[in-house]
Structure 1
C-alpha cells in the first residue's frame, strides 16, 4: 500500500468527541470469483499434498479425508465457505487458521490430521494460545476480563515470555495471540520474542490501537508478526470512546488499522457485541465501516459476566443471539457479501460443537503465567512457566483438559 493513503486519515477535534475522517483502504478479501476459485483450489491441492506427505498410504489418506470432511460438515453444516483474503502473499480463510503458504499452515494441517490418524508420535492437539504479557493498560474498558489484575506489578519478564513461546511451539502451536492489558506497551519485548522464535507459528497482537504507530507496525511486521486484532466496539466514535474509557480510543483504533495495512499485517476488528449495541442497524453499519477500512476479519464476541462485568446481567437475549447468527451467515455465505470482510463468530460454532478451549484446541495464559480454559473461564490449572526442574507443565495441561470449561462451555466465548 502507498503511504499516501495514510494522509487521508485526519482528525478534527469537536467539543464532545473527535470527528474522524476515515480513509478508504484497499480490500483484502478477494473480489474476483475466478481468483477466489483459483485460491480455493490451491488450498485443496496443498492439503492433498500434505496428507500424502504425512500419511504415505492411500488407506490412511482416505481415512484422514473422511475425518476432515466430517469436521467441516460439523463446523459449517451444509454451507460451503468460499471467501478468501490475500495479504502480503498469503491466502486466508478463517481467523483461527494460519495463512497459506507458510510453515504455520502446514503445521496446522498436521495437527488436525494427527487427531484422527496419528503419525508423529505425540498427542498434542493445541492449535492456538492466548498469551497475556502485561498487566498495564491506559484504558478502562467496560468489559475487561483482566480488570482485577490491571496495573498491578508485572510478573512476566521478557525471558519468561520467550520461554512460554518456546514451550508452546514445541507442542506444535500454530498461532499465538499476545494480549494484556495493552501489549503494545511492551512492543520492544514483542519484537525481541518473535525475532527469537522458530518458524511455524503465526504471531498476532491484540490491541486497542494504543502505541500502534506507523513505526511500531513496521517493526512488528519485520520481526515476523502476521496480524493485529484491533478492538473496535462501535461504529460511532463517541460510543466506542465511552466503552473504552478514553477520548482517543476510536482515533487510535482506526489509525492502527491504516498503519497495519501499510505494513502488510492482516487486520481483524474485534467487536464485543453488548446488549445495547446488538441491533441490525448497528451490525450493518459496523460491517460497512470494516469494509471501508479494508479489514480481513471481523470477530464477534459476546459479553461475559467476568472481570469488570462480574455480577452483572450482560448476556444477550435469544433474539439478539439470532441476530448475530443471521449477520454471521449472511456476511460469510450470501453472494452479495463475498467481497466484504470474513466474520468469525465462535459462539455460533460453540453452541453446536461444544467448547474447543481447555487445551483441546486452545487455552489462555494469564499475566502471572498461569493456564486457564479460555480468557473467560478463569480457574488456574497450574503454571506454564519453567522455573523448576519438575515444573508440572505437562500435568497442568492434562488437568486442564480433564476439567474442561466451567458453565460457559455451551455459551459463547
Structure 2
C-alpha cells in the first residue's frame, strides 16, 4: 500500500521563515452582466432537466412549486448572487456539482425525485465523505479521526473502488475523499477516479501534504473536480501550531497554487475555534482567500470528538452570530460579490435540521463503516458488501432509522 508505515510523531512547530502568499487569478465572476447571463443559463438548464425527468406539464408545475418551497425553507428571502467559473464549469455552492456536467444532472435528478418521484428507486444521497487512510504526518488540534490515526490500514484500493461503485450506483453526485491525509494514497486516488463512471464530482480533502504540482496534474487528469485545503488561520505561525507542523502553511499555499494551475476548484476549509472567531480574523481570512483566487471558504465549527474529546470547544452565542453574519455578508451581500463564496452549513442546519445519516449525506470511516457524519461517530453497519454481513441497503436503512445525534452547536 502506498501509504507505508508513518511513525506516530508529534510535530513541534518551530519558527519558520515567512511563506509568501501567492496572488492567483480570481475565479468568482465579477461582472454583473455575466452573472445575470449565467443564472439565466442555470434556469434554462434546470427547466430542460425537469422536462426530461417529468414529461408532463402537470408534474412539471408540481415540481416547480415544491422546489420553490424547498428554496424558501433553505434560503428564506436570501438570493444566491455569486458564481465561480473553473475549467469551463460554473459553481454556485460548494456541496453542489458544477454545471454543465453529468454530476450536476444527477444532483438535480435526485433532488427532483425527492419532491416528485419519477424513478423506481428511493435513493436520496447527494454526497459521501469517504475516509481512505488512517495515515497522516500531522497532529491537528481538532482531528476527529485521532483515535484511528496511524493505525494499520483496513481499506485496500479494491475496497475503495467497491465503495465508489456502490455509491455511484445510488446516484451520489459528489464524493469527498478524506483521511488521515488522503494524498498519501495519491496513486490509489488516481486509479479509483480514473476508473469511475461519469456522474460524480470527486474532491480530495488535504492539508497540502504531498500536493505537488505533478500530483495536482495527475488528479485533474484522472477526473477530480476540486481540492478542499485545510487552512485554519490567516497567520502562518498560528496555522502551523494548530496543525502541529512547521510546514503546514507552506503546504497549504503550494496546494492552492498547484490546484489553481491545473484547473481544480479550490475550497479553503476553516475550523473556526474560540481563539480564532473574531470579526477581524474572519475578514483577514477572507482577504487571504481572495488573494489566493479560491472559489469557496468552508466554515466548520469545532466539535468535542477525536482530539477534542472531553474538551469544551463550543463557540459562544456571540461567536456563532459572528459566523452567521460573516456568511450572510460574504455570500449574499452586495459588497463582496467578487470575493470567494462562503459555505456555512451550520446556519441552515440550525434552521431546518441535519441532512446527514444517509438522508442527503453520510460518512464512511477508515474501516469502511457508516456514520451519520464525520462528527456524529457511531458505527451503523459496514459499507463493504463482503465486510461484516448484511448489505449496504440494510446498513443505510439502519443509519436512516438511527438518524443524527441531537444538534447543539457543532456542524460539518
Q: What's the TM-score, normalizing by structure 2?
A: 0.96
Out of 186-195 and 70-79, give the one that drifted further: 70-79
Following superposition of structure 1 onto structure 2, how do residues 2-401 of structure 1 map, counting pairs within 5 Å? 16-387=15-386, 391-401=390-400
Q: How far, CA to CA, are the matches of 2:333 and 2:232 in structure 1? A: 24
Are the aligned partners of 1:355 and 1:410 in contact in 2 as well (CA < 8 Å)?
no
Are the aligned partners of 2:364 and 2:371 in contact in 1 as well (CA < 8 Å)?
yes
Q: How far, CA to CA, are the matches of 1:237 and 1:307 in structure 2? A: 24
Q: How far, CA to CA, are the matches of 2:358 and 2:231 in structure 1? A: 28
- Displacement after TM superposition at 1:388 (Å): 6.2
- Displacement after TM superposition at 1:412 (Å): 2.4
Q: How far, CA to CA, are the matches of 2:198 and 2:368 in structure 1? A: 23
Q: Where does the alignment leave 5 or more consecutive residues of structure 2 unmatched? A: 1-12
Q: How far, CA to CA, are the matches of 1:71 and 1:32 in structure 2? A: 28
Are the aligned partners of 1:354 and 1:409 in contact in 2 as well (CA < 8 Å)?
no
Are the aligned partners of 1:104 and 1:200 in contact in 2 as well (CA < 8 Å)?
yes
Q: How far, CA to CA, are the matches of 1:153 and 1:278 in structure 2? A: 36
- Displacement after TM superposition at 1:20 (Å): 1.3
- Displacement after TM superposition at 1:407 (Å): 2.5
- Displacement after TM superposition at 1:390 (Å): 6.0
Q: How far, CA to CA, are the matches of 1:263 and 1:194 in structure 2? A: 17
Structure 1, residues 158-210: CA drift from partner, whole Å, max 9, x if none? Answer: 00000000000000000000000000000000000000100000000000000
Structure 1, residues 288-320: CA drift from partner, whole Å, max 9, x if none? Answer: 000000000000000000000000000000000
Aligned to 1:7: none
- Displacement after TM superposition at 1:18 (Å): 2.8
Matched residue of 1:326: which SS?
helix
Q: Where does the alignment leave 5 or more consecutive residues of structure 1 unmatched? A: 1-13
Q: How far, CA to CA, are the matches of 1:383 and 1:199 in structure 2? A: 25
Structure 1, residues 210-240: CA drift from partner, whole Å, max 9, x if none? Answer: 0000000000000000000000000000000
Are the aligned partners of 2:230 and 2:252 in contact in 1 as well (CA < 8 Å)?
yes
Structure 1, residues 8-62: CA drift from partner, whole Å, max 9, x if none? Answer: xxxxxx9722301111111000010000001011000000000000000011011
Distance 1:410 1:116, change over 3 A: farther
Aligned to 2:9: none
Are the aligned partners of 2:303 and 2:410 in contact in 1 as well (CA < 8 Å)?
no
Are the aligned partners of 1:348 and 1:412 in contact in 2 as well (CA < 8 Å)?
no
- Displacement after TM superposition at 1:389 (Å): 11
Aligned to 1:4: none
C-alpha RMSD of matched pairs (Å): 1.2
Distance 1:15 1:149, change over 3 A: closer
Matched residue of 1:169: which SS?
helix
Distance 1:182 1:204, change over 3 A: same
Aligned to 2:5: none
Equivalent residues, number: 400
Distance 1:303 1:99, change over 3 A: same
